[in-house]
Structure 1
């Protein structure tokens, strides 16, 4: 049959609403923000700029795949840590 209205109100006041709240996130923007904070990506970007300024654009262009590789590894490892934390802790202590 189910709960009466009184039982529902009592249960909600005691245990809280039976709902999930999700924060709408823009994954691409979050990844870019995270990459800006990565020291290795910053170092590679600065090095690439130095190559271009010093007149060695070939070396600067050659460094671009390394920047993409480091950024990709950092992004994937962050996502895997979040998934691992979600599975193990059941969404407790997950950074937002």
Structure 2
């Protein structure tokens, strides 16, 4: 960590400290660097989660528009089929 970083005391459950020390050893970071790395990443995940939620709302809104569009297409298809049937009966009578 850089010298301008502030020092703080932090109480942790012993098992959490053990997990952090194991992770620090695996990653080649100091315990302090591991804690800082994981905290920093948790904020990045929060931001990513916010983006995912916003995208999910956008997708839902688009799905509603698509559903409405499909319903309109089905109504138009039914009307067209009625018109075709009417035309068939008209030409059958004429023929």
Shorter-normalised TM-score: what interval?
0.3 to 0.5
With a CA cutoff of 8 Å and minimum separation of 6, indicate the structure with the bigger relative contact order.
1
* TM norm structure 2: 0.37
The structure with the larger Rg is 2
Q: Which has the higher helix share?
A: 2
